[in-house]
Structure 1
Amino acid sequence: MKHLLKSAALAAGIGIFATATFAQDVTLRFQHFVSPKSANPKHFMQPWAEKIERDSGGRIKVELYPFMQLGGKAPSQYDLIRDGAVDGGWIIPGYQPGRFPEAEALEMPFMVTKSAEEASKAAWIFTQKHLMDDFNDIHVIAAHMHGPGIVHKRGDTIETISDFDDLKLRGPSRPATLLLNKLGATPVGMAVPAFPEALSKGILDGGVITWEMSPSLKLDQLTDSHTDVAGDKSLYNLYFVWAMNKDKYNSLPDDLKAVIDANSGFMASAWAGRAHDIGDVDGKARMTEAGNQIAEISADETAKIKALGDQVISEWISDVTRKGLDGAGLIADAQAAVQVTRMATDPDTN
């Protein structure tokens, strides 16, 4: 009898445990569109997923799928997450020009610093003020920027604005292509997965993208030179969102929501930006080791490029204002967010 009671108690205990496990354990499938060896997946996404699992005591498992393995195209990532085709993932709002115009304020020429971590802190501040309504049908975890955009091309480095003439250059977003057009290039809007093939087939002469993406895109082989602008501001930058399906988030028990929340926001945004900073150092070193030309445009010529960038900003303000947005206010708030984060990180500005 004692044996039977003991067995029954054990079986009941196992049943309760199994029921609790079934009710609470969660697997989240997050998708992105680049190599798992590139900087953000390596230094942010994977560590973030591991921290979620650790902080939840193993009750949440985050699976990462690179190269859009769960289906769809990179420009459709927002809708895939919103509709629940995937549980979460990495979004570039700029891949859908005109859909999220307020986010473009952060992507204007020479808007943010070359520190992706610093720029990402500003991105989170700006997102909280202006973009949460736009993203109301997803659950935003982090908003961040990558590092400085570099001009990668076949042939010699860029020295003057005239060197842009007639070059067919890939651009990732509307602000970037507007600037390339001002510089005299022929901009081609293109998501990052298509960039290497377009280079290899001679469709493009080059394009703008970060140092950190260069190795995974084989730009050491597909291009000959890499050119940055002078100063501490980026020629261009790109805005990203790390998010999950809203219904999936809302379905979590409160204690598991708290795990996601504790790994979201300002901290997660800075972490995602820091991943790009690490990758930029590695990527530039790889291009240098390959023997490619590395250059920085002179301060005087950079000033001329910035003046054209200012024209892009002015025209953008007029354009979005006609559409009912406060263009000047958005630019002012983006600049203020950048300044706040600079003051917080640079002792010389305090």
Structure 2
Amino acid sequence: MRELLSVEKLQCAYEGTPVLRSVSFSIEEGEIACLLGPSGCGKTTVLRAIAGFIEAESGAIRVNGEVISDGKSTLPPEKRGMGMVFQDYALFPHLTIAENIAFGLKGKSRSEKQQAVEEVLNLVELPDLAKRYPHELSGGQQQRVALARALAPKPRLLLMDEPFSNLDTDLRRQLSAEMRRILKKQQIASIMVTHDQQEAFTISDRLGVLSQGEVQQWGTPEELFYQPATPEVASFVGKGVMVSGKALAPDRLSCELGELEFAEPFGKDGCEGRSIRLFLRPTDIQLTHEGSVSAEVLACEFQGSQTQYSLKLASGLELQAVESGMHRYPIGEQVALRVAPHRPIVFFDR
């Protein structure tokens, strides 16, 4: 596919305070991308700069190779051919759903507007709600209308600012999957910002973790989860704990969890004695009936198909594990544990 959007060393500030220091990434035509990061990290600022709502101090934003912002000049928002879905949907309460969708269809005849409204309402599976008002719709329906309104002008790029944040967890998961289906069907490239990593995994082809004014890593969800570039990325895309150890061989190390051997080497010959850190997620820890390392059960949470345990080693290190069996270990009990030998463990040099 051809590159659609390129953001290069983007810098933005509010009242002289730097927010984006050097943000760089690109997306291709038809690709769904996501910017993931904690509140206040600058995710929305990136969207606003791409949309043209704020001006970049430096760096460049290109669409199809054309510079639309470079710190010296900027293309007005209405000429960028982009759609936007806001966090609060921004629907006009005094307009019907059809009127809300048709609002942005400038320069079209009445029949063309009607046809466009019908098309997008069918696309978001709300064909019978054209004459209703926003207050008569559920939160999920309002979110679909906001998407329909953004898609009606057929934008070359869709920008979404935490579009599911006002919905409950189950509905967010459902609509994330539906949003991906709709965008892929229309082959519309899009960028969504969120602080919810599960939401980002569900919808995106590629994603980036934004922190300290920069994109810490940009890649597929699988790459960021299994091959995080930094401990910060690892901790943000999945819960876990960092454990320090010493290499005994390219595939063996010693740490608070004992002497561990791995299916895949983490180093090369001659790495003996090197300091290594493991990022261990709950799925990396197994509870066993026998083992040289034990931990106290601090808490357990039954989750239906699995139980999640909070554990504490004699050293004071606390970590979590998940078990799918029916047996439940009581709080206060000492249990043996081990690192799952065939899991793809994340390693970092100290």
TM-score scaled by structure 2? Answer: 0.24
Question: Does 1 or 2 have the higher relative contact order (CA < 8 Å, sep 6+)?
Answer: 1
If each structure's strand is expressed as a fraction of its own residues, which one has the higher value?
A: 2
TM-score scaled by structure 1? Answer: 0.24
